[in-house]
Structure 1
Amino acid sequence: MTYDELFQLKGLEKAKLLAGKSILGREISGAHVVEIVEAQDWVKRGELIFVSGVAFRDVKRDLTEAICELSKKQVAGVVLEVGPYIKEVTDDIIELANELNLPLLSLPYEIHVSEIISQIYYDKYSKEETNKSVEKFMTELLYEDEKKALERIELFKYNAEKKHIAVYVSVEAEDNSSQTKSVEKVNENGESKNENSSINSKNDDISEQLLRAVRMSFVRQNQLLYLKEEDGVAAVIELEAGDKVHKLMRQKRKEIEENLRYSRKNVSVSMGIGKVFIGADSIKKSVTEARKANKVIKTDGGTGNLRYYDEIGIYRIFFNLSDDKVLRNLLTEALGAIMQYDDENGSDMVHTLEVFLEQGCNIAAATDALYVHRNTVKYRIKRIEEIMNIDLKDVTVQFNLRLAFKIMHYLG
């Protein structure tokens, strides 16, 4: 549930938003009542917390402490029930909430909080069932029986006459939580075995957080189909007549990243974007295009970026090859000799060659980029030409080598 939806609930028409206006995109995952300061230990991230102050000994002191502690728990917001116990919300409390980026609301004490909480959880569980249905549908459409899935697409209020676009969103975290590693464990019989470490669960966590961030960012779209996959989230959205696609996609990528940073501080979000289409039978194709565009971002070594399928150039040829053997042969023909030289001599000529090409075959620019002496670069380039029996001044040679490096990064 978002705050927009929250304010539509019965009983909240008298609520006032006092602080935290800049982060109302924060998702509300549940609700909880806190009447004693110690109860904060039971609170979960994303919950909306209701406080009446009935058990506070010193209202100002206890309320200040509660707001500080609840902010650390990353709750979705705090609703203060103004009445016999919390008689007013003072400016210093509002200022504190703003400093902590914590949404703070006031609500008359006579409003039945239990009814509001019931509505929040009803909405939560209804959405969970909807989400399961959407993900099951998308799995069937993309990977199982596309024709069968399309027969029931109208159940998801899909308007086949409107323009749609697919995006594929992935995330890179500085804590390398997306990686897995093997650790040795000893069972009760004293036998050792390798198991995936808790990094796997971290990966699952960030995938769920990314899915929520995507849904939050596209919440105002008329319709949204989505699927959490192993390395990202695929989504299909409906476009409005006046939407400027490039501007909208830049805005949404930024929003997803900001939403994700509520729970993950050091992350970068990348977004691949398929072609705009009309009709339902192009959904799978557009999702595939978006996934490919996202892969190109990673292939080029980028993060925190977006790429359109229409703009991936020669990579479209790579994707359309049914067998990577052709690409591997091209790579070996172009770079095999220098790669073998590096393996046998423990050198880094391949990297030097790539940087030299990236810098327009300019010795001075390559010297700066490699942080080595100019004569070192000149020697390496001359040696590379000898080993590979090529002339790096030849533009055809340069083209073939640049293509080979693209193939190398594409193949990983």
Structure 2
Amino acid sequence: MRITIKTLLDLPSLSHAKVIAGAKGLDKTVDSISVLEYAEPTALQKTFFDSNEFLGNEIAITGFINIKDDVEAQCRTIRRLHKSGEVGIILYYVGIFMPEIDQRLIDLANKLDFALICMPENRMDLKYSEVIYEVIEAIIKNKMHDPNFVSEMLERISKLSDHQRNMDTVLKMICDHTTSSIYLVDDHFNSVNLSNWPVISNVSIEKISSYYHASIANLPTTPTPIEIGRSIYVCNKAIQSENASPLHLIMAKENGILSEELCNQASEIVQLFINIWSKGHGKIGTDELIRAILNDEPIKMRRLAEILNINILAIHHLIMLVPKKPIDHQALRHDLYQKWQKIVEDVIRLYFNVTFTGTYNDTFVIFLGSDKVKQACKVVKEALEEALSEQSPEPYVLVTCYGQANTTDVRNGYLLYSDYLSAAKIIFPLKTILSLQELRFTKHCYDIISNGENSILEATKILLPLDQSNHSSDALKSTLAIYLLDAASNVALTADYLYVHKNTIKYRIHQINEYLHFDINKMPEHYDLYCAVAIERLLESLPQTPNKD
């Protein structure tokens, strides 16, 4: 039996709570509970929310006290929690601190199937501790009476998003369930992945290695108590990885007994994950290094970079290359990427000292660092565009992610590409090359749409005078969109795209200026118009636009 949100609602402390939104998510599993008191902390946002760490099937308690009057901040918080694997929130003190639950928050929670549970309103005497105690007690009792967790864990893994479905996430899920520290290592105790429980655990793989004299063969294959500063249980299970050396799953538990059955199930989950989703895990090669970077597996990334003699600290640029139209046939896509690899590698090595390429989730990726020439990023983009235009057998879209501080920022650039490329191609349909800034702009437009009708009307009201014009508003708005989004405010190029004389474009722009009562090339009005026409383009294609919330 699983502990779900619906199960928790039967607890005495939650018996008077109401499900305000996200009812379709009530069957989601709950593994832990936390308190989120500062929902929009600037100092923590980068390290906590934007780290994309999988938080597990956790439910949060909050009063939204520091953002009680900021509905947009409340919506942003729910999006971040949902993206990180949280399943819902329990709202306290509505009517006291937070005046009411805004309809925009309810709509968003319903859209994400994210449970929004409200404790009785206008009650100051309610305590977080009562719910926390009963929820934790229910979770612990369930683990004791239902020790078999393989099927449930695999089901949860299968539902993870692509960027979260990695070995670090799997180990964290097992770690939280078994309350054990888990290390995936090679024959020489080199860590490939690890997860500590608790985070400030007294155990480390270095201490275990030292205790067993750095010999993996000395580790027990059944749970065995040892003393490393304090008493712990240790167990080692062999893990086979296709086309790679065998790995070892080491489990270490403080303050408790580690059962044989628990170890067997943990190793079975890891083995099945490798067989189904991560074949070749532990293999030494650039594809595995790319997987480690983009899956956010820092230990594995550093180990592979050291073996491959790649200066990972020098990596500050990422380029992603995909066919303009998807190629469903795997063999054809593989052949295309092989041709691209030859074209690309002949170019990039001329401009950068650190370079490597590979594929990840059907995207051809290029990592660059340590410039050889001045303005290397600008030059290599132009050189790649020329080489691909001449030699690529298929039309392509090239996305540049330049000037990132570290591999974490590089990975965040990839996630932005993964989430918003489809929408960016709607806003910029004529562009072959897209930048990270254009993806960020796309996300900004998409967030405005996601915030609801009022947000959309506020962002697009600048265009209302064109709708009320005596001339053809469609022609004026179409000209404005192409002029701003496709032609980079170039009159001649706009005329070419619309197959009209450039004087016609000049006349239409004059008319637009007249109706809007300002020069459309003047900032900041220019930017407001740019956003408005982009949002309208997205809205026109909304059924085809992926929902990335």
TM-based fold match above 0.5: no
Relative CO higher for 1 or 2, CA cutoff 8 Å, sep ≥ 6? 1
TM-score by length of 1: 0.42
TM-score by length of 2: 0.33
